[in-house]
Amino acid sequence: MKKIGIIANKGKPEARIVARELLYLLEDRGAQVFLDDHIASDVGHLELGTSVEEMGKQADLVCVLGGDGTLLRIARQLAGHSIPIFGINLGTLGFLSEAEPEHLPQAVDNLLSGKYDIEKRAMLEACLVRKGITLGTYTAMNDIGIAKGSFCRIIQCAVFLDDEYVATFSGDGVIVSTPTGSTAYSLSAGGPIVAPNVDMLLLTPVAPHSLTARPMVLSGNQTIRVEVDAIHQEMGLSIDGQFGYRLEGGDQIYIKKSPCVTPLIKWKKGGFFEAIRTKLQGEWE
């Protein structure tokens, strides 16, 4: 019997309806279902409620109902559990999701019969060091952003690959992203699209005060060190663009590939390039 978790973004109007239908379809086919605590009461099944952390220990796979932001948040929470994640899009872009709500019957059939592939998406690990003291270590699926405040002057980001000096970028900041994150913030800053199976780190300067600064594709086996400086203190570190921390001049951020990966459930052949064509280039069928 498959053990399947359902996690939903309560902020999406249709989340309760889709979660209830998915629960019915799974239980009707003999699966054991866990609901995250935030949605269990909304669908009238408090007895199935559990935490995301506990779900990561007990479930065989997790269905995430929401947009890309929801899936990114859950991927960080489940990092280290190596539990496959299946995205059902309730957002606008849904670039990371594999199914829409109208595909639920087919999705359940595929999940319970094992008719799917798993893509292991790389994650990032970032360590913030201030005056020799480590303030925190963070995991991201998309990207680590280092940026100035909204109304401030430019900042300087000196970049090193291991101990080798690469360049200093003056501008709004820099983004270090995984291949998965290449279609997110990095793309809007002029970075390239990278296929998800490429072993690399992508460094993209944001609004650089230079005609020659360009995105760089760097080794996935090395550590990027970014030292920040500015004449002001309005700088920040962002994790997947969802939460952040204030930076000070002289701070060092060490970024490398995380030992954790996010296993995404996929069943569509060529799904990544289809998503590029349809969701980024507007080639609707």
| Residues marked as catalytic | 68
How many CA atoms are closer than 13 Å to the CA of 57, on its beta-carbon side?
4
CB-count exposure of residue 207 (10 Å: 0-12, 13-18, 19+)? middle
Please state the φ and ψ torsions of residue 150, each to the nearest 5 degrees: -65, -35
C-beta pairs of 212-219 under 8 Å, 24+ apart in sequence: 213/167, 213/169, 213/171, 215/186, 215/189, 215/190, 215/191, 216/166, 217/192, 218/161, 219/161
First-to-last CA distance in the chain? 37
Q: What is the CA radius of gyration of the chain?
A: 20
Q: Going by C-beta distance under 8 Å and a sequence separation of 6 or more, which residues neighbour residue 257?
A: 122, 123, 124, 125, 178, 201, 220, 221
DSSP code for 213: -
Rounded to whole angstroms, how far apart are CA atoms 209 and 155? 10
DSSP H or E run through 27: helix 15-28
Q: What is the DSSP pairing of strand 252-266 with strand 117-130? A: antiparallel
